[in-house]
Amino acid sequence: MFGYVRLHKPTITMGEYEQYRGIYCTLCKQMGKRYGLLSRFTLSYDMTFLALLGMALAADDPAFCGGRCSFNPTKKCLRAGNTACIDAAADIGMLLAYYKLRDTLADEGFFKKLGALCALPFAAAARKKAMKRRPATDRLVAEMMTRQAALEAENCPSVDRAAEPFALLLQALATDLSADEKQRTVLARFGYCLGRWVYLIDGVDDLPDDLPKGRYNPYIAARSLPADADEGTIKEVQTYAVQSLNACLAECIAAYNLLDVRRFDGILRNILEQGMPAAQRRVIAKEETK
């Protein structure tokens, strides 16, 4: 999907990296089992993070064991024996992939639309399976996409309003990771801030492509940017965006510190405290280069 919520490899320990890779590989395998081979091409770091956080809060041990990569049988890796959280992430990932394709058909150019049309029958079949397993989540994602489309159609000039639907979606998905009411309250705030961060960084990342094509972007609408905006104007937008992103990330970390995390704390902190800031730097550096 987005791919911004990811590890910072230079500072992760080897053991923690193997555990993370084990969850990533297990998610890939479960997606294939539940939705077929092609579903594995929708595998994302974001859904891996969702599975990781759920497993970190769960009472059950992940029960890692040895395994091999389905695409490269000579490559050894860990596999999680307890896949409840991973299966949930696989289902959610397929629902998001389907609605993302629908969004591509509405907003993108000819060649991307053509690719989306080719993939849509598979995605629609997978979505039917996922919808049966998680009807409430399907309704939630559909509602978010409808609200997002309405905001884009009106060229919403408020960055806060534009980010709200995706923030509320992540809020609901994160809340469902625990049955404990205290934990759910904290997870709701964590998910909201995470969803807002993902939406905003995606907006900054898409800015150079959206400007000349006249596509909706919350920063373009908020600043009434012309298609030929100069570098100084773009830099002002970046500065404004970084402040908002840092605020969202700080709230994410503050909420995370209140959670009763049973395992994978080092991996989760690596993502929140180093991986996501590194993603911000990559996006801004790309903007400056362009």
Digit-coded pLDDT (tens) for 161-196: 999 999 999 999 999 999 999 999 999 999 999 999
pTM of the model: 0.92
pLDDT value for 289 = 44
Could you tell me which residues come within 8 angstroms of residue 79 by beta carbon, excluding any fewer than 6 positions away?
Answer: 22, 25, 26, 29, 64, 65, 66, 67
pLDDT value for 14 = 94
Q: Which two tokens stand for residue 239?
A: 């500065």
pLDDT value for 38 = 86
The domain over range 9-289 is classified in CATH as 3.90.1150.10: no
pLDDT value for 32 = 92
What are the CA-CA distances from residue 209 to residues 83, 116, 202, 228, 244 (Å)?
39, 19, 12, 12, 21
Q: What is the DSSP string of the chain?
A: ----S---GGGS-HHHHHHHHHHHHHHHHHHHHHH-GGGGGG--HHHHHHHHHHHHH-SS---EEEEE-SS-TTSEEEEES--HHHHHHHHHHHHHHHHHHHHHHHHS-HHHHHHHHHHHHHHHHHHHHHHHH-HHHHHHHHHHHHHHHHHHHTT---HHHHHHHHHHHHHHHHHTT-S-HHHHHHHHHHHHHHHHHHHHHHHHHHHHHHHHHT---HHHHHHT--TT--HHHHHHHHHHHHHHHHHHHHHHHHHHTTS---S-HHHHHHIIIIIHHHHHHHHHHHHHH-
pLDDT value for 213 = 87
Q: Which two tokens stand for residue 114?
A: 């053509």
What are the CA-CA distances from residue 167 to residues 193, 211, 232 (Å)?
7, 24, 30
Which mean pLDDT values do the consecutive 10-residue runs of the chain (290 residues) have? 88 95 94 91 93 96 83 78 94 93 74 78 92 96 94 95 96 96 97 97 91 91 89 84 94 97 97 96 70
pLDDT value for 275 = 97
Q: Where are the domains of the chain?
A: 9-289
- Sign of torsion over alpha carbons 77, 79, 87, 60: negative
| pLDDT tens per residue, range 193-246 | 999 999 999 999 999 889 888 899 999 999 999 988 888 888 888 888 999 999
pLDDT value for 109 = 66
